Amino acid sequence: MGSVSLKIGDGTARFRRTSVCSSAVNLLMLFSVVTTNLFALYAFSSHSNSQTINHPLHHSNNISLVSQHLSLILREIDTSQRKLAQMEKQILGYESIDLSRPNTVPELKLFLNRHQLPLGKDSRTGITEMVSSVGHSCEKSTDLLSQYMSYKKFERCPDDWSLGQKLILRGCEPLPRRRCLAKTVAKQDLRPFPESLWRPVSNKSVNWSGLGCKSFDCLKGKKLTPDCVGCFDLGGSEKDRFVKVKWKNDFLIDDVLGLGSNKIRIGLDISGGGSSGTFAARMAEKNVTVITNTLNNGGPFSEFVAARGVFPLFLSLDHRLPFHDNVFDLVRGSSGLDVEGKAEKLEFLMFDLDRVLKPGGLFWLDNFYCASDVKKKELTRLIERFGYKKLKWVIGEKADGQVYLSAVLQKPVRV
């Protein structure tokens, strides 16, 4: 045995003879290793003492026994890993999508597979592969998701926007459909801005598939959401909203803009998806750009809002708002914020709204329905957590005898 020494200068490696003492130590270590392994082998085969040492099958039996023990250990490890993974899924409340299921369509597999970057690691971001995002709740709706992803690529998409919305409302968001052409509807009789804000929208300008009504006349007078009672009738009471006071909980747009020192430029209207864009239209008349959250709950809200010349955002309230921190001068919310379920659901939403509202910006809580004193107290405590300054705070009843809360709050500067 020997050790390698490198002589710097001539670039050669030479072996140097070791001492007798060093060799003796190495031999002792080798003997110890062999002895330990023999003892372990004897321990595994202790139940076979009745057999003679010179038995011709003794060696093969020992190997077989060791293999069985190793297989048992590996199975136990695998079982433990499965149990831990299942416990994690139960704690988190969701599972990852199993692409090995027989009903998973190829397009969904291709979309969700990881794709390596062609030039390797990106020096700026540090990523080495592209990963497509899809909501974790999609695992609970894999049959619907496979149905939604069953289309002929590069051709027209199925006319099934209602199926996509059903997935969104189940938390399967963002949707993975990409490589097909959405159905087009000729946009007839669209008016130039700002005339478009109050002109009736043609029935032929929207897609009525998946909806009970097939015309705007059918929708007149219907309460589709807490924020939409006949809201598609632009010639009716909808035109008086935000410019005329009907109840003491109603605030005028000019008054709210005055509270913001007339520095309101961009805003976000969160109403649970049931708005026809009237708030955004009124703000547009004041040269304020407002994005309106929409979902087609019983009516073509998204296309209607767009036809009026204002910006619709097709998004559920369970989704994190796709905006950077501290960007909006004004956020308006109504009874659509009253998400069902645990109080934590409302907290998640309210903290996200606070995130996108800039310091000094206004949060306008417009006619929030207080179903009970408990609900009112929970909401009040939640608002107080943010440390907002109360510029306006009104609690009152309407003709239906129900209690509503309206408030204008100013976000503080936090350091």
Domains of the chain in sequence order: 84-170 (no CATH), 216-411 (3.40.50.150)
pLDDT at 308 exceeding the cut of 90: yes
In 3D space, the residue among 138, 61, 72, 150 whose CA is nearest the CA of residue 105 turns out to be 150
Q: How far apart are CA 318 and CA 79, in angstroms?
A: 35
**Per-residue pLDDT, 234:** 92
**Per-residue pLDDT, 59:** 58
- pTM score, whole prediction: 0.73
**What SS3 string covers the chain?**
CEEEEEECCCCEEEEEECCHHHHHHHHHHHHHHHHHHHHHHHHHCHHHCCCCCCCCCHHHHHHHHHHHHHHHHHHHHHHHHHHHHHHHHHHHCCCCCCCCCCCCCHHHHHHHCCEECCCCCCCCCCCCEECCCCCHHHHHHHHHHHHHCCCCCCCECCCCHHHHHHHHHCCCCCCCCCCCECCCCCCCCCCCCCHHHCCCCCHHHCCCCCCCCCCHHHHCCCEEECCEECCCCCCCHHHHCCCCCCCCCCCCHHHHHHHCCCCCCEEEEECCCCCCCHHHHHHHCCCCEEEEEECCCCCCHHHHHHHCCCEEEECCCCCCCCCCCCCEEEEEECHHHCCCCCHHHHHHHHHHHHHHEEEEEEEEEEEEEECCHHHHHHHHHHHHHCCCEEEEEEEEECCCCCEEEEEEEECCCCC
Between residues 355 and 16, the one the model is more confident about:
355
**Identity of the highest mean pLDDT range in 138-142, 167-171, 374-378:** 167-171
Q: How far apart are CA 164 and CA 176, in angstroms?
A: 10
Among the residue ranges 40-44, 49-53, 218-222, 356-360, the one predicted with the least confidence is 49-53
Q: How far apart are CA 161 and CA 185, in angstroms?
A: 13
Residue 384 in tokens:
């107080």
- 101, burial (CB in 10 Å: exposed 0-12, middle 13-18, buried 19+): exposed
Between residues 8 and 170, the one the model is more confident about:
170
pLDDT confidence of 213, banded at 50, 70, 90? very high
Q: What is the pLDDT averaged over residues 20-33?
A: 48
pLDDT at 275 exceeding the cut of 60: yes
Among the residue ranges 2-6, 218-222, 226-230, 384-388, the one predicted with the least confidence is 2-6
**Per-residue pLDDT, 177:** 92
**Per-residue pLDDT, 314:** 93
Among the residue ranges 24-38, 222-236, 372-386, the one predicted with the least confidence is 24-38
Give pLDDT tens digits for 85-132.
666 555 444 446 777 777 788 888 888 877 788 888 888 888 888 877
Give pLDDT tens digits for 217-247.
999 878 888 778 889 999 888 999 999 999 8
In 3D space, the residue among 106, 115, 114, 165 whose CA is nearest the CA of residue 141 turns out to be 165
Q: What percent of the chain has pLDDT over 90?
A: 45
pLDDT at 50 exceeding the cut of 80: no
Among the residue ranges 52-66, 142-156, 214-228, 268-282, the one predicted with the least confidence is 52-66
Q: What is the pLDDT averaged over residues 286-296?
A: 95
Give pLDDT tens digits for 157-186.
999 999 999 999 888 888 989 999 999 998
Between residues 229 and 154, the one the model is more confident about:
154
pLDDT at 7 exceeding the cut of 60: no
Residue 388 in tokens:
């907002």
In 3D space, the residue among 224, 260, 112, 86 whose CA is nearest the CA of residue 178 turns out to be 112
**Per-residue pLDDT, 109:** 85
Residue located via tokens 């080798």: 30
Considering the chain, what is the average pLDDT of its residues? 82
Q: How far apart are CA 29 and CA 17, in angstroms?
A: 19
pLDDT at 44 exceeding the cut of 70: no
**Per-residue pLDDT, 47:** 46
pLDDT at 9 exceeding the cut of 60: no
pLDDT confidence of 16, banded at 50, 70, 90? very low
Q: Residue 251 in contact with residue 392, Cβ under 8 Å?
A: yes
Residue 364 pairs in a beta bridge with 332, 408
pLDDT confidence of 300, banded at 50, 70, 90? very high
Residue 7 pairs in a beta bridge with 12
**Per-residue pLDDT, 391:** 97
pLDDT confidence of 1, banded at 50, 70, 90? very low
**Per-residue pLDDT, 42:** 52
